[in-house]
Structure 1
Amino acid sequence: MNSILSYLTGVFGVYKRWCTWQRIFYLTITGSLSGLMIVQTEIADALIRGEVGLTWQPWVATYSSVIGFTIVSPFLIYCCELWPFGKAHVIKTTIKLALLYVPITFCFITAMLILRNIAHLLIDGTLFDGWDLIDRYIYEFPKAIAIYLIFIFITYTKIYYDNSQKEQLNAANLQNELQTIRMQTLRSQLQPHFLFNTLNLISSTVYQDADKADSIITRLGDLLRYSLATEQKPFVTFKEELQAMQSYLEISQLRFGERMELEISVEPSTELLMIPAMLLQPLLENAVKYGIEPSNETGKITLESDLIEGLLQIKITNPWHQRRQQQESFGIGLQNTKDRLKLLYQEQATVTLDNNNTDQVTLTIILPAQHMEQTNE
Structure 2
Amino acid sequence: MLEISSTRRGLVIYLLVWLFLGCALGGVISVASDTPLANAMLFAIPLNLVYAFAAGYSAYYLCRAYPLGGHRPGQIALVLTFAAVVSGFLWLVIGNLWNGLCLLLGTRWSGIEITPHLSMLIVALGVLLYGFAAALHYLVIEFVRAKNAEQRELESLLMAQEAELRMLRTQIDPHFLFNSLNSISALTSQDPKAARRMTLELASFFRQSLGMEAHKKVTLGEEMILIRHFLAIEQVRFGERLRVEEVMGEGAAECLVPPMIIQPLVENAVKHGICNMPEGGTVRITARRAGSILHIGVANPVDEDMASIRSEGHGIGLTNVRQRLSGAYKHEAGIHWGRKDNSFGVDITMPAQTSEEGE
TM-score, with length taken from structure 1: 0.80
One-letter code of the match for 1:114? Answer: I
3-state secondary structure, aligned to 1:352 = strand
- How well do the aligned residues superpose, as a CA RMSD in angstroms? 3.3
2:62 aligned partner: 79
Write out aligned runs for 1:122-137 (5 A): 122-124=102-104
Task: Give how far 1:140 is off.
Answer: 6.2
CA separation of 1:75/1:273 partners in 2, compared to 1, >3 Å: closer, same or farther? same
Matching residue of 1:370: 353
**Higher mean C-alpha displacement, 142-151 vs 274-283:** 142-151
Query: Paired residue for 1:102?
Result: 82
SS of aligned partner of 1:190: coil
Which residue pairs with 1:38 in the alignment? 25
Structure 1 residues 200 and 153: CA distance shift in structure 2, 3 A: farther
Task: Give a deviation string over 1:69-114, Cα, whole Å, max 9, x none.
Answer: 531431221121232224xx57x14423323432453245235413
Q: Describe the SS at the equivalent of 2:148.
A: helix
- What is the CA deviation profile of residues 40-77 of structure 1, one whole-angstrom value per residue up to 9, with x for unaligned ones? 11111112xxxx56852564256435523531431221
Listed one character per residue, the Cα deviations across residues 206-242 of structure 1 (whole Å, up to 9, x for unaligned) are 4443322211110111111211221222222222222
Match of 1:228 in 2: 210
C-alpha distance in 2, partners of 1:316/1:325? 14
Structure 2 contact 334–348 (Cα < 8 Å) conserved: yes
In structure 2, C-alpha distance between the alignment counterparts of 1:301 and 1:118, rounded to whole Å:
89
Query: Residue 114 in 1 paired to residue 94 in 2?
Result: yes
Residue pairs, 1:290-301, within 5 angstroms:
290-301=272-283
Quote the residue 2:128 is aligned against: 146
Mapped to 2, the partners of 1:344 and 1:120 lie a distance apart of: 69
User: What is the CA deviation profile of residues 236-284 of structure 1, one whole-angstrom value per residue up to 9, with x for unaligned ones?
Assistant: 2222222231111111110011222222222233222222221221111
Q: Distance in 1 between matches of 2:145 and 2:180?
A: 52
Q: Report how many aligned residue pairs link the two structures.
A: 353
Separation in structure 1 between the aligned mates of residue 294 and residue 22 of structure 2, nearest angstrom: 64
Say whether 1:68 aligns with 2:51. Answer: yes
1:279 has 2:266 as partner = no
Equivalent residue in structure 2 for 1:346, among 318, 327, 330: 330
Gaps of 5+ in 1: 1-13
**2: CA distance between counterparts of 1:136 and 1:302?**
90
Structure (1/2) with the larger helix percentage: 1
> Is the Cα–Cα contact under 8 Å of residues 88 and 124 in structure 2 kept in the other structure?
no
Question: What SS does structure 2 have at the residue aligned with 1:102?
Answer: helix
Bigger drift between 37-46 and 274-283 goes to 274-283
Deviation at 1:23, TM superposition (A): 5.6
State the distance in 2 between where 1:61 and 1:354 align.
Answer: 79
Contact map agreement 1:349 1:368 (CA 8 A) in 2: yes
Aligned to 1:333: 317
2 CA distance for matches of 1:326 and 1:15? 59
Q: 1:222 to 1:17 in 2, by over 3 A?
A: same
Higher mean C-alpha deviation, range 335-344 or range 149-158: 149-158
**In structure 2, what residue type is equivalent to 1:355?**
R
Question: How far apart in 2 are the matches of 1:243 and 1:54?
Answer: 82
**One-letter amino acid matched to 1:212:** A
Question: Any unmatched runs of 5+ in structure 2?
Answer: none
Question: 1:22 & 1:238 partners in 2: Cα distance?
Answer: 46
Verify the 8 A CA contact 1:116 1:128 in the aligned structure 2.
Answer: no
For residues 29 and 75 of structure 2, the distance between their equivalents in structure 1, rounded to whole angstroms, comes to: 33
Asked whether the equivalents of residues 263 and 301 of structure 1 are also in contact (C-alpha less than 8 Å), the reply is: yes
Query: What amino acid is the match of 2:257?
Result: I
- Please, which moves more after superposition, 146-155 or 193-202? 193-202
SS in 2 for 1:232: coil
Matched position secondary structure for 1:327: coil
Structure 2: which amino acid aligns with 1:316?
V
Distance 1:24 1:305 in 2: 55
Change (3 A) 1:143 1:323: same
SS in 2 for 1:279: coil
Determine if contact 1:348/1:367 at 8 Å carries over to the other structure.
Answer: yes
- Give the distance between the partners of 2:172 and 2:83, measured in 1 at CA: 66
- 1:342 deviates by 1.4
TM superposition score normalised by structure 2: 0.84
Alignment-derived partner of residue 7 in structure 1: none
Kept in 1: contact 2:283–2:300 (CA 8 A): yes
Q: Do the aligned residues in 1 keep the contact of 2:59 with 2:130 (CA within 8 Å)?
A: no
